[in-house]
Structure 1
Amino acid sequence: MEEFKDKIVLISGGLGDIALGIARAYLQHGAVVLLSDRADKETASIRMSGLSDYKSRIRYRQVDVTDATAVRNWVDSAVEEFGKIDISVVNAAQVTLKPFRELTADEWDNEMKVNLDGAFYFANASARAMMNKSNDGNIVFLGSWAGHSVHQHLPAYSVSKAAVRMLCQCMALEYAPWNIRINEVAPGYVNAGLSKGIWRDDPSSRSAAKSKVPLQELIEVEDIAKQVLWMTSSQNKHMTGATVLMDGGLSLVRP
């Protein structure tokens, strides 16, 4: 997609498998990509080594998304360097695999701070920066099927992602007059991160996960990247406040 050439793309939670896959897709189409995450630059350098072919068009900054000032400074620095930001992908997330009866107050707070507060800080700072642009702006939240379906093993995560869906809709309505489109991609079981390691070491667990999906397929990082690019392209100019639920039908069945 030639339209992404020289676009300025910011991605939070930028060192995760999904974020790096999205970054690669934008870089392949000529964009400049700015990643942020909690890790130091040494760790980031290792995680980003697979993108070395694009080192002239990629940046990294250590940012804690729960720190509103740090997030705003990151966005402001991008605008100062490039004069604009075009696309923000809100990806940073925290998952606690505990039922409510075992969840501590600190664990609950941390889940909400990262998944909801952090999402708001980044998306809102991005939208404010995009208000000053002459062309369209795009924000994509990385949600989850768990925000659409009750899941007893990760209830705090499910609650936070359900809240992010409403955050997306409210922000989409508010910022629509400035031609800023704000949407959500909500994947199901993704072959990435912790799940990828578990499934690699225990093929039976991969088969078990796959069997729960009505379409009998797990989602690859590349699938999500393609969806995000489409959502931020001119081919999708009439969609805002929407959620694309790409879970193979997982949210249609009981977990």
Structure 2
Amino acid sequence: MFEIKGKRVLITGGSRGIGLSYVDALAKQGCEIVFSHYMDTEKAVAECQRVEDTFNTKIHHIESDIADEKQTEDMVAQAIDILGGIDIMISNGGICKFTEFMDISLDNWNRHMNVNLNGPFRVTQLAAKQMIKQGDGGRIIFTTSVGAYRSNAKQTHYCVSKAGLSLLSMGMAIELGEHNITVNSIAPGWIHTDINDKESRDLKSVEPWIDAKLSVARLGKPKDVESAVLFLASKEAEYTTGSTIFVDGGWNAQL
């Protein structure tokens, strides 16, 4: 059992997919959680009710576009007001619009950088300032991707943004250690979520890819990331920082 109960958690992109699995895992451990979402209020309300009913803990949601600096600042301020502080910050919100490289517009490129890199930089910087103010240390966790280490067709913009996020987490780990704040990343492989639902259901393409790339012969599920986030968020991970846990079925091990 990891020592997490009673911790105050802020998660971006928590209404669906991997982010919602983080919510479930930490709620089950007795954390109070605020999660952000973007234009997903109906789903967020339903998931808050489900999680509260299931795990008997407090869950709150805030609509916010992480690419917008003012909205991000307001969201963090609201989360601090609701929770009374932040002990665990999980930067998970992200996008991936599959686009061939030659068709990536500047607007498309900039949107990926703002959502996947600039927004996470700002939200975790604000959370770190709050943790330093509290004086009790903290945990910051990024959802990066195997795509931070190897690119994919139609995902150049996405992979570049995730590579930047990986280096951001390591730089933060170097500087925040003196404040007893650890900073780590979870790098999922191909996890079947809303963001890639169409591609994940294309079995003619997916099955040969699984055979060629994975040691565990299936696509990942959002629940597969839960044990990683529980460890990195816990007291037991106090000596782990600047690290990445791959949850990818063995994809990154392949040449």
TM-score normalized with structure 1 length: 0.91
- Structure 1 residues 41, 196: closer, same or farther in 2, change over 3 A? closer
DSSP 3-state at the match of 1:181 = strand
Q: Answer whether contact 2:4 2:233 (CA < 8 A) is retained.
A: no
Matches of 1:231 and 1:191, distance apart in 2: 22
Q: Which residue of the partner structure matches residue 20 of structure 1?
A: 20
Q: Answer whether contact 1:146 1:251 (CA < 8 A) is retained.
A: no
**Corresponding pairs, count:** 253
DSSP 3-state at the match of 2:3 = helix
Matches of 1:50 and 1:80, distance apart in 2: 23
Q: What pairs with 1:159-170 in structure 2 (closer than 5 Å)?
A: 159-170=160-171
Q: What pairs with 1:194-213 in structure 2 (closer than 5 Å)?
A: 194-196=195-197, 198-199=199-200, 201-213=201-213
- Structure 1 residues 35, 55: closer, same or farther in 2, change over 3 A? farther
DSSP 3-state at the match of 2:70 = helix
DSSP 3-state at the match of 2:246 = strand
Pair 1:36-2:36 in alignment: yes
Pair 1:141-2:131 in alignment: no
Bigger drift between 207-216 and 131-140 goes to 207-216
Matches of 1:202 and 1:154, distance apart in 2: 17
Quote the offset at 1:210 in angstroms.
2.2
Q: Which residue of the partner structure matches residue 215 of structure 2?
A: 215
- Structure 1 residues 196, 209: closer, same or farther in 2, change over 3 A? farther
The one-letter code sitting in structure 1 at the alignment partner of 2:31 is: A
- Structure 1 residues 180, 42: closer, same or farther in 2, change over 3 A? same
Pair 1:7-2:15 in alignment: no
Structure 2: gaps (5+ residues) = none
Matches of 1:203 and 1:47, distance apart in 2: 30
Quote the offset at 1:227 in angstroms.
0.4
Q: Alignment RMSD, CA only?
A: 2.0
The one-letter code sitting in structure 2 at the alignment partner of 1:237 is: E
% identical equivalent positions:
28
Quote the offset at 1:47 in angstroms.
4.9
Q: What pairs with 1:1-255 in structure 2 (closer than 5 Å)?
A: 1=1, 3-48=3-48, 50-53=50-53, 54=55, 57-196=58-197, 198-199=199-200, 201-217=201-217, 218-253=219-254
Q: Answer whether contact 1:212 1:250 (CA < 8 A) is retained.
A: no
DSSP 3-state at the match of 1:120 = helix
DSSP 3-state at the match of 2:187 = strand
Q: Answer whether contact 1:8 1:85 (CA < 8 A) is retained.
A: yes
DSSP 3-state at the match of 1:10 = strand
TM-score normalized with structure 2 length: 0.91
DSSP 3-state at the match of 1:173 = helix
Matches of 1:235 and 1:55, distance apart in 2: 24
Matches of 1:152 and 1:193, distance apart in 2: 19
